[in-house]
């Protein structure tokens, strides 16, 4: 190992300083002196941006992580990605199977643990029916893992109780895309961010939750100072630092604001009549087809001056936002949990699509409604492969007999042998555990005891139910309720595919061997299924490569075409965007456009074709304003909202293991507006008690102007101060996604 002069002097100085102090130098994880033996291509473990990474391995150990220059992120990583390596070597890693004996989790052999788990599944199915067992997965599991688990439960055990945490984060976005365009997933890609001249960001703190995309937006504005950025959010976050217009809305007024922007666009005649006349149907909330004039009448209730009090946004700002949106040459909308985690999240999604459809700002480079996702493989693993209780792979539905029959044929099952009844959605599933109807659950790579809303209510069910968990970290609170724990190979310890926000699928290649007795989750799932008694012919796989090949075949001939995304290509290329029908197809940047989308024949007469809908027209839905399930008022005058911070990711089981992050950001806090704080005598750092109808909790205050007056914010990463004990579990009747973002609370200095 070569040591530079500079390093030698530095080390010598450090060594003498340590000698003088009489202490030995501490072991450091990695530094400039360590030489990387080989770089292995992968995808970041954290958010849905899906940044490409290169994992630096030395002596069989990951010592550093850098950005993949060939992936969409062009080498850039955020602070979490740049400090990913230590997570792998956390001392909290589960490395042996564990089973609960006399209330304690103790080490066991693989055989013992697998047999115990399998016997409980068999027992429950024999005693009642297949609906008494369930799978609760994750947008962090590999595509192959989710596809396999879904097949084991739906085809092998005949239980459609297959759910996952994406129900908590993007079910409303799915509902929005499906109801407006007929097919799930965005039509655009990150390339649109480099061409947009207007960004409309609503309900997203892009800067902290998708930092690498935020950098791309900021770079776009830097390259062209005429680019306009509109942020609509009740919090003035770091994202607003680059905004030209920040609309500080009242929580729960999103639907009214979006309709009001449509009002301005239509009344100022900024709509693209030629586009919407040809490619759009206008529909009432009751699915009745109407004309553009009826839509205008519907919008009459949303004149900016009439809703400014409700929205808390000056009418002039709504007008300005609408004008910028419609008059810019290319507009991209971005949204995330602020829109999705609402009791009318699907409607809010529809209304964003409406703005693009009436202005024709869609299907052109730089113009697209792009929903941001929170997890690395929620789009890929769960949405596309059908890892939810009402879905079958590639956009097929359980309730449709024709769809079931297609899968039965492909999976080599007798006709009409799949269970025709959709399973329980996430919140109903955990309620069924409370009620004792679901008796055994398998969770994979998720931490529901922290991430569910109104979480205390559901811990009863977690205790009652026999819990089998595949979980990498022993300090995940959900393991308090686990009866069997299987240790999985983590991140780059096995090979598999992640699919990110822009429909891009990329391979996470195995870089190192898993520690202890950890095994890839696909092998754990296969072993468990065989012991439960699933037909071996259904799961004839050796590894995740075999599962990927089957998924490609299952997706072929559907609009979700993965056939050309072979394992070999994924090894060479840093991600490919579906639809991709053949091995020489480069992947698709823009869907629904002739010449771009391989699902549209080149001789199709029209430029656009929304083939998800029977008549090829997208839908402009007339969705009315709907307040939150529990708006602030009366005894609970404040609105409580929750969210993420840039340092931590989800339940902090990973970011909590990075010393730099854990020590700079150990605790949750409550953000209070300066005016509110002054009125109540709260100073920075004071203890503040938050009380909702579900409980109370005390946090240190951070006083500032991020939150609007009347709003308080608490990040949800901290298991010690678990804000989800206070959040509400009201759900969107369409998407079944809970309204984490808004509930009423009291604020009191203690």
Q: Which is nearer to another protein, 218 or 330 (CB)?
A: 218
Whole-angstrom Cα distance, residue 581 to residue 588? 10
Among 1, 2, 6, 269, binds another protein (CB under 8 A): 6
CB of 230 to another protein, least distance (A): 11
Among 3, 12, 17, 297, binds another protein (CB under 8 A): 17
Q: How far is CA 160 from CA 281, 336, 387, 394, 629, in A?
A: 34, 28, 10, 16, 29
Q: In this structure, what are the phi and psi dihedrals at residue 490, rounded to the nearest 5 degrees?
A: -100, 145
**Pairing verdict, β 396-397 and 391-392:** antiparallel
CA nearest neighbour of 55 among 87, 33, 26, 28: 87
CB of 244 to another protein, least distance (A): 6
Whole-angstrom Cα distance, residue 607 to residue 254? 32
**E strand spans, 668-726:** 670-673, 687-692, 695-704, 711-715
Q: Which is nearer to another protein, 48 or 616 (CB)?
A: 48
Q: Which is nearer to another protein, 24 or 402 (CB)?
A: 24
Whole-angstrom Cα distance, residue 457 to residue 427? 11
CB of 31 to another protein, least distance (A): 4
Sign of the torsion formed by the C-alpha atoms of 339, 250, 667 and 427 = negative
CB of 667 to another protein, least distance (A): 6
CB of 660 to another protein, least distance (A): 4
Query: Binding to another protein (CB under 8 A): which residues in 212-241?
Result: 214-215, 218, 221-222, 225, 229, 231, 236, 238, 240-241
CB of 643 to another protein, least distance (A): 15
Query: Binding to another protein (CB under 8 A): which residues in 368-427?
Result: none
Stretch that binds another protein, among 207-215, 374-382, 423-431, 597-605 (CB under 8 A): 207-215
Count of other CB atoms within 10 angstroms of residue 679: 10
CB of 86 to another protein, least distance (A): 4
Query: Binding to another protein (CB under 8 A): which residues in 509-548?
Result: none
CB of 11 to another protein, least distance (A): 10
Asked if residue 484 lies in contact with residue 100, where contact means CB atoms within 8 angstroms, the answer is yes
Query: Residue 321 — left, alpha, or beta (φ > 0 → left; ψ -120 to 50 → alpha)?
Result: alpha
Q: Which is nearer to another protein, 237 or 474 (CB)?
A: 237
* Burial of 485 per CB tally in 10 Å (0-12, 13-18, 19+): buried
- 24's tokens: 């030995």
CB of 527 to another protein, least distance (A): 34
Asked if residue 627 lies in contact with residue 249, where contact means CB atoms within 8 angstroms, the answer is no
Q: Which residues of 286-306 are buried (b: 16+ CB within 10 A; e: fewer)?
A: eeeeeebeebeebbeebbbee
Asked if residue 554 lies in contact with residue 410, where contact means CB atoms within 8 angstroms, the answer is yes
Q: Which is nearer to another protein, 213 or 438 (CB)?
A: 213
Among 23, 126, 537, 602, binds another protein (CB under 8 A): 23
Could you identify the residue written with the tokens 């602070």? 79
Q: Which is nearer to another protein, 30 or 680 (CB)?
A: 30
Among 117, 242, 321, 554, binds another protein (CB under 8 A): 242
Q: How far is CA 378 from CA 47, 213, 487, in A?
A: 10, 17, 22
Q: Which is nearer to another protein, 5 or 287 (CB)?
A: 5
CB of 371 to another protein, least distance (A): 22
Q: Counting contacts by CB under 8 A, is residue 93 touching another protein?
A: no
CB of 205 to another protein, least distance (A): 11
Whole-angstrom Cα distance, residue 165 to residue 426? 8
Stretch that binds another protein, among 17-25, 504-512, 690-698, 707-715 (CB under 8 A): 17-25
**Which residues share a beta bridge with 26?**
none
Q: How many residues bind another protein (CB under 8 A)?
A: 62
Q: Which is nearer to another protein, 211 or 448 (CB)?
A: 211
Looking only at Cα atoms, what is the longest distance across the chain?
84
Q: Which is nearer to another protein, 16 or 109 (CB)?
A: 16
Stretch that binds another protein, among 288-296, 342-350, 596-604, 665-673 (CB under 8 A): 665-673
Whole-angstrom Cα distance, residue 99 to residue 112? 9
Q: Which is nearer to another protein, 288 or 660 (CB)?
A: 660
Q: Which is nearer to another protein, 241 or 400 (CB)?
A: 241
Q: Which is nearer to another protein, 214 or 608 (CB)?
A: 214
Stretch that binds another protein, among 42-50, 548-556, 634-642, 661-669 (CB under 8 A): 661-669
- Provide the mask over 103-142, with x wherever binding to another protein is found by CB under 8 A and - wherever it is not: ----------------------------------------
- 193's tokens: 């961010």
Q: Which is nearer to another protein, 64 or 467 (CB)?
A: 64
Q: Counting contacts by CB under 8 A, is residue 14 touching another protein?
A: yes
Q: Helix (H, G, I), strand (E, B), or coil: what is residue 199?
A: strand
Q: Counting contacts by CB under 8 A, is residue 663 touching another protein?
A: yes
Q: How far is CA 217 from CA 227, 356, 538, in A?
A: 10, 19, 46
Among 1, 2, 26, 582, binds another protein (CB under 8 A): 26
Q: Helix (H, G, I), strand (E, B), or coil: what is residue 113?
A: helix
Whole-angstrom Cα distance, residue 140 to residue 152? 19
CB of 473 to another protein, least distance (A): 16
Query: Binding to another protein (CB under 8 A): which residues in 617-656?
Result: 646-647
CA nearest neighbour of 581 among 610, 601, 608, 611: 601
Q: Which is nearer to another protein, 214 or 325 (CB)?
A: 214
Among 112, 288, 305, 660, binds another protein (CB under 8 A): 660
Q: Which is nearer to another protein, 274 or 663 (CB)?
A: 663
DSSP 58-86: ETTEEEEEEE-TTSTTTT---HHHHT-HH
CB of 463 to another protein, least distance (A): 32
Count of other CB atoms within 10 angstroms of residue 417: 12
Stretch that binds another protein, among 139-147, 173-181, 203-211, 518-526 (CB under 8 A): 203-211
Among 114, 162, 243, 378, binds another protein (CB under 8 A): 243
Among 263, 665, 699, 717, binds another protein (CB under 8 A): 665
Contacts of 24 (CB under 8 A, 6+ apart): 18
Query: Binding to another protein (CB under 8 A): which residues in 29-88?
Result: 29-32, 54, 64-67, 69, 74-79, 82-83, 85-86
**E strand spans, 250-322:** 280-283, 289-290
Contacts of 10 (CB under 8 A, 6+ apart): none
**Which residues share a beta bridge with 245?**
230
CB of 203 to another protein, least distance (A): 17
Peptide bond into 94 cis (omega under 30): no
Q: Which is nearer to another protein, 214 or 548 (CB)?
A: 214
Residues near another protein, by CB under 8 A:
6, 14, 17-18, 20-21, 23, 25-26, 28-32, 54, 64-67, 69, 74-79, 82-83, 85-86, 207-208, 211, 214-215, 218, 221-222, 225, 229, 231, 236, 238, 240-246, 646-647, 658-667
């Amino acid at each position: 190992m070569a040591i530079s002069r500079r390093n030698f002097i530095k080390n010598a100085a450090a060594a003498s300083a340590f000698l003088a102090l009489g202490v030995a130098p501490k072991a450091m994880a990695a530094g400039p002196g360590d030489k990387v033996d080989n770089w292995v291509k992968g995808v970041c473990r954290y958010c849905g941006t899906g940044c490409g990474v290169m994992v630096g391995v030395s002596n069989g150990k990951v010592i550093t992580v850098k950005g993949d220059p060939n992936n969409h992120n062009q080498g850039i990583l955020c602070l979490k990605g740049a400090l990913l390596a230590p997570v792998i070597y956390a001392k909290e890693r589960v490395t042996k199977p564990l089973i609960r004996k006399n209330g304690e989790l103790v080490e066991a052999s693989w055989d013992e643990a697998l047999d115990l788990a399998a016997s409980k599944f068999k027992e429950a199915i024999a005693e009642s029916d297949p609906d008494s067992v369930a799978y609760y997965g994750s947008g962090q599991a590999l595509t192959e893992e989710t596809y396999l688990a879904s097949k084991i439960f739906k085809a092998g055990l005949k239980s459609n109780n297959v759910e996952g945490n994406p129900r908590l984060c993007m079910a409303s976005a799915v509902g929005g895309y499906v109801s407006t365009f007929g097919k799930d997933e965005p039509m655009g890609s990150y390339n649109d961010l480099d061409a947009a001249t207007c960004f409309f960001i609503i309900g997203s703190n892009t800067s902290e939750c998708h930092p690498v995309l935020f950098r791309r937006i900021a770079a776009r504005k830097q390259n062209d100072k005429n680019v306009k950025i509109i942020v609509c959010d009740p919090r003035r976050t770091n994202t607003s630092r680059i905004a030209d217009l920040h609309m500080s809305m009242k929580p729960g007024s999103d639907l009214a604001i979006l309709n009001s922007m449509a009002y301005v666009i239509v009344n100022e005649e900024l709509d693209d009549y030629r586009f919407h006349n040809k490619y759009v149907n206008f529909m009432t909330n009751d699915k009745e087809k109407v004309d553009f004039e009826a839509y205008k009448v519907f919008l009459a209730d949303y004149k900016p001056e009439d809703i400014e009090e409700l929205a808390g946004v000056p009418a002039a700002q709504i007008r300005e936002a609408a004008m910028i949106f419609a008059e810019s040459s290319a507009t991209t909308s971005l949204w995330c949990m602020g829109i999705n985690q609402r009791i009318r999240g699907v409607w809010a999604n529809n209304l964003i699509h409406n703005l693009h459809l009436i202005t024709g700002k869609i299907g052109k480079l730089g113009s697209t409604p792009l929903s941001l996702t929170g997890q690395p493989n929620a789009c890929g693993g769960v949405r596309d492969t059908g890892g939810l209780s009402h879905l079958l792979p590639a956009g097929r539905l359980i309730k449709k007999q024709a769809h079931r029959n297609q899968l039965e044929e492909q999976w080599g099952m007798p006709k009409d042998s799949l269970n025709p009844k959709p399973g329980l959605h996430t919140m109903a599933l955990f309620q069924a555990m409370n009620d004792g109807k679901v008796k055994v659950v398998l969770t994979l790579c998720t931490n529901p005891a922290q991430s569910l809303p109104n979480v205390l209510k559901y811990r009863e069910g977690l205790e009652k139910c026999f819990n089998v968990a595949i979980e990498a970290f022993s300090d995940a609170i959900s393991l308090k309720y686990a009866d069997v724990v299987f240790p999985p190979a983590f991140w780059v310890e096995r090979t598999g595919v992640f699919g990110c926000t822009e429909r891009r699928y990329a391979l996470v290649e195995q870089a190192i061997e898993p520690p202890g007795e950890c095994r890839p989750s696909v092998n754990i799932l296969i072993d468990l299924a065989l012991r439960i008694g699933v037909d071996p012919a259904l799961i004839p796989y050796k590894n995740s490569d075999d599962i990927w090949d089957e998924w490609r075949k299952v997706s072929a001939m559907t609009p979700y075409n993965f056939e050309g995304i072979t394992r070999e290509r994924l090894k060479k290329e840093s991600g490919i965007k579906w639809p991709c029908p053949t091995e020489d197809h480069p992947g698709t940047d823009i869907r629904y456009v002739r010449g771009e989308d391989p699902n549209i024949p080149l001789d199709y007469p029209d430029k656009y074709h929304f083939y998800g809908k029977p008549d090829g027209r997208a839908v402009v839905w007339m969705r009315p304003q709907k307040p939150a399930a529990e708006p602030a008022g009366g005894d609970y005058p404040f609105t409580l909202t929750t969210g993420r911070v840039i340092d931590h990711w989800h339940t902090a089981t990973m970011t909590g293991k990075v010393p730099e992050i854990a020590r700079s950001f150990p605790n949750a806090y409550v953000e209070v507006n300066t005016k509110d704080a002054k009125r109540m005598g709260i100073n920075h750092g004071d203890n503040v008690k938050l009380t909702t109808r579900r409980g109370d909790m005390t946090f240190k205050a951070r006083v500032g102007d991020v939150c609007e007056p009347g709003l308080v914010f608490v990040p949800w990463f901290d298991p010690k101060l678990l804000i989800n004990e206070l959040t509400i579990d009201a759900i969107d009747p369409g998407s079944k996604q809970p309204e984490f973002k808004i509930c009423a609370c009291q604020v009191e200095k203690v």
